[in-house]
Amino acid sequence: MELWFSEMHTDNVKLGFRIRREIEHVRSPYQDIHIFETYDYGKLLVIDGTVQLTERDEFVYHEMIVHPPMLTHPDPKRILIIGGGDGGSAREVLKHDPDEVHVVEIDEEVVRLSRKHLPFVARSYDDPRVHIHIEDGIEFAKREKNFDVIIIDSTDPVGPAEKLFSGEFYRYLRNTLAPGGIISQQCGTPVYHPEEVCNVHALLSREFRYVRLYFAYIPTYPSGMWAFSIASDEPIRIRRKMDFPTRYFNEEIYSSSMVLPNFVKEKCHQE
């Protein structure tokens, strides 16, 4: 008998993975979490039926959510990751030699399962500069201050992540950031949910002087075309040379990923 996991991208489109085995399944107080071993994509982390990462292509997402904001800052030392309990974003942040990385993940089961089954991302937790806080990112952000870069590596805007995509949250973040600080956030696909992508851009633009959307090609996410936003009160441009290895990101991609296709410009009313 063949085992398959499929994620419904719309009512009429889905992406399926043939599964070798289910490694673990946990229903946490927040969400339903599966780890599978696939035939073609290595290990697969699924939360509430949606692909969070696969061993084969997670590098694209993690490099792209981390390196653009980190290289936009002249000297990022204190970093906050909201969500990101798998550890993949922290792994990329460590390439910039920060002093402190704070991962604020609401669901301790995501951290536990990643440590147990996904060492290729969770190995970042072995670094003493990485501090894990199990709590709602919004509460943490209201209380703490002085972060050079904040990376919002959350699930999509439903359930516990919904408020991480609100104007109210972005207002708090202004105070959580140090002067000259930078934010990045994953914000979905413009192919199926253009309103979600444009909404993040519009809300961030009310709080920050400079906001850009940028894109990466992630084979296992809906449509493969994934959007991120970057926001700051300082102009968005690369300020440091790369001196670390990557598999997707490079300095040319820093610029080219911010070039918007026409259908996105039209939807989001961007020049």
CB nearer ligand SAM, residue 118 or residue 236? 118
Is there binding between residue 155 and ligand SAM (CB under 6 A)? Answer: yes
Sort residue 161 into left (φ over 0), alpha (ψ -120 to 50) or beta: alpha
Exactly one of 57, 63, 86, 148 binds ligand SAM (CB under 6 A); that residue is: 86
Q: Catalytic: which of 97, 153, 233, 243?
A: 153
Site membership for ligand SAM, residue 63 (CB under 6 A) = no
- Pick from 92, 148, 100, 167: which is nearest to 128 by CA? 100
Note if 136 is an active site residue. Answer: no
d(C-alpha 200, C-alpha 164), whole Å: 10
97's torsion region: left (phi>0), alpha (psi -120 to 50) or beta? left
Shortest CB 133 distance to ligand SAM, Å: 9
85 binding ligand SAM? (CB under 6 A): yes
Q: Which of 106, 187, 227, 231 binds ligand SAM (CB under 6 A)?
A: 106
- E strand segments, the chain: 3-8, 14-27, 32-38, 43-47, 50-54, 78-83, 100-105, 130-134, 147-153, 177-186, 210-217, 225-232
Minimum distance between the CB of residue 29 and ligand SAM, rounded to whole angstroms? 11
x/- contact string, 35-54, with ligand SAM (CB under 6 A)? ------------x----xx-
Residue among 54, 124, 176, 186 that touches ligand SAM (CB under 6 A): 186
3-state secondary structure of 22: strand
- Catalytic residue positions, numbered: 153
